[in-house]
Amino acid sequence: MSSNPHKIGFVSLGCPKATVDSEQIITRLRAEGYQIVPEYDQADMVIINTCGFIDSAVEESMQAIDEALQENGQVIVTGCLGAKSDQIKQSFPSLLAVTGPHATAEVMQAVHQHLPAQHDPFIDLLPPQGIKLTPQHYAYLKISEGCNHRCTFCIIPSFRGDLVSRPIDEVMQEAQHLVNAGVKELLVISQDTSAYGVDTRYATRFWNGQPLQTRFVELARALGQFGVWVRLHYVYPYPHVDDVIPLMAQGAILPYLDIPFQHASPTVLKAMKRPGNQEKVLERIQRWREICPQLVIRSTFIVGFPGETEADFEMLLDFLTEAQLDRVGCFMYSAVEGATANALPGQVDEATKQQRFDRFMLHQQAISTAKLGQRIGQTLRVLVEQPVEDGWTARSYADAPDIDGLVYIDTEQKLTTGQFVDVTIVDSDEYDLYAELTSKESP
């Protein structure tokens, strides 16, 4: 094997699903002896995995491409923005190659063309779980690609196509490798997690001698066997989502559900081509909490969608009050190139969008503050993240990495990233909790 392996810089932008794509590419690169480096001036080539979902993401990706070309010059672009290859090549004609998302083979072909591998890939050994960009104690587990829905604000199906589910035995094997490598939390992701398996007609596969149907609820139950935190993201509110709530109540998976409701007004939801009946949704949430009182619900919403009236927006605020969601994100509608919503009547002006966004955030902030205040005095098991002044940060079952709040532990004790400890909550604010160490436990 060469003593001077080729060096590649890697820039990964976008959502957790893009992160998994980056991990797959980096795993292939490392398997073939390429070295991943953090600086442009150290790299023989730079690969940029782009995001193209909303205007701000497109701008960030374009800036990253421009910077890489200026600082290095040898650049391959992949990812969602790469699906618009003609536009990218027109803006940056000196790029070595442009591919779309989930295109590991195409990226490797471009790498081989411009920076051929120097050795036999069978010489190097890789960990079975592959190369991960997340910290060692948690990992994203992507179970499918694409989406069968055609929401009018979204262009992801045009990038990633219709739903294609991974065989359940392959998902379980990857999960096993991750757990064996020390991962304490599996974050299940896809474009539409609860549709998992529908494209395979819920085909039965075998893993460790167990027959498993390629089905959302069955996968959740099977992942619960590993004894680690299992967190479900991007769950479309199909009726069968009700069936995972008992698993949460039993402690098999985390009582945490990420469901992007997007809005509460039937008129707006119809324009979005999203399902929605405010009263039925509220009834379901109530039933879920009756079965699993500790359930935490995260959701995202869009304000300023074309045709949204003040009455529609007030309906959304009323829904927030009734639903008492734990974790909420909000976006102002952005006209993404190629989205059918761009042609809808009643486009909302930017000032109104901003005003509604601000009102939404203040409204939900008050709800979040009150709900977190109810945690004071509780003892929670948390997963330690990193040291800070006067202690450590951690996450409870209610906190997904990067998007939710944190638990700040006031302690002089030396903890370890990825360690579970019990803490007592002593204070809270709008989004975070503050705690004292109750007991220190081994992982």
Q: How far apart are CA 110 and CA 95, in angstroms?
A: 11
Tell whether the model's pLDDT for residue 126 goes beyond 60. Answer: no
* Token digits of residue 324: 């008492």
Tell whether the model's pLDDT for residue 26 goes beyond 50. Answer: yes
pLDDT tier at 67, thresholds 50, 70, 90: very high
Tell whether the model's pLDDT for residue 378 goes beyond 60. Answer: yes
Other C-beta atoms lying within 10 Å of the C-beta of residue 63: 11
Torsion angle (degrees, nearest 10) of CA 335, 258, 147, 278: -70
Residues in CB range of 222: below 8 A, 6 or more apart: 168, 172, 207, 210, 212
Other C-beta atoms lying within 10 Å of the C-beta of residue 410: 14
Tell whether the model's pLDDT for residue 280 goes beyond 60. Answer: yes
Distance of CA 220 to the CA centre of its chain: 17
Angle at 196 between CA 195 and CA 199, to 5 degrees: 85
pTM for this model (two decimals): 0.74
Torsion angle (degrees, nearest 10) of CA 371, 374, 379, 385: 30
Strands 210-213 and 229-232: unpaired
SS (H, E, C) 305-343: CCCCCHHHHHHHHHHHHHHCCCEEEEEECCCCCCCHHHH
β-bridge mates for residue 435, sequence order: 409, 425
Distance of CA 417 to the CA centre of its chain: 21
Mean pLDDT, residues 257-282 taken together? 88
Q: How far is CA 59 from CA 42, 64, 86, 88, in A?
A: 25, 9, 17, 12
Mean pLDDT, residues 122-139 taken together? 64
State the pLDDT at residue 439: 62
Going 104 to 105 to 109 to 110, the CA torsion angle's sign is negative
Tell whether the model's pLDDT for residue 443 goes beyond 50. Answer: no
The residue that leads in pLDDT, 231 or 124, is: 231
Q: How far apart are CA 434 and CA 325, in angstroms?
A: 20
pLDDT per residue as tens digits for the range 74-113: 999 998 888 888 888 889 999 999 988 878 888 988 898 8
Tell whether the model's pLDDT for residue 334 goes beyond 90. Answer: no
State the pLDDT at residue 150: 83
Comparing CA positions, the residue from 312, 215, 213 lying closest to residue 262 is: 312
Give the DSSP letter of residue 253. S
pLDDT tier at 419, thresholds 50, 70, 90: very high
Tell whether the model's pLDDT for residue 1 goes beyond 90. Answer: no
Going 112 to 100 to 138 to 426, the CA torsion angle's sign is positive
Work out the percent of the chain whose per-residue pLDDT is above 90: 58
Instruction: Provide the H-helix boundaries in 336-405.
Output: 350-373
Mean pLDDT, residues 165-180 taken together? 91
Work out the percent of the chain whose per-residue pLDDT is above 70: 94
Tell whether the model's pLDDT for residue 159 goes beyond 90. Answer: no
φ, ψ (nearest 5 deg) of residue 365: -60, -40
Tell whether the model's pLDDT for residue 293 goes beyond 70. Answer: yes
Tell whether the model's pLDDT for residue 2 goes beyond 60. Answer: no
φ, ψ (nearest 5 deg) of residue 157: -60, -30
SS3 7: strand
Torsion angle (degrees, nearest 10) of CA 151, 153, 157, 163: -30
State the pLDDT at residue 125: 47
Tell whether the model's pLDDT for residue 361 goes beyond 90. Answer: yes
* Token digits of residue 183: 């991962």
pLDDT per residue as tens digits for the range 382-416: 999 999 988 999 999 999 998 899 999 999 899 99
Q: How far apart are CA 301 and CA 262, in angstroms?
A: 4
Residues in CB range of 107: below 8 A, 6 or more apart: 25, 47, 76, 78, 97, 99
State the pLDDT at residue 148: 80
pLDDT per residue as tens digits for the range 103-121: 888 898 889 888 987 654 4
- Are 166 and 193 a contacting pair, CB within 8 Å? no
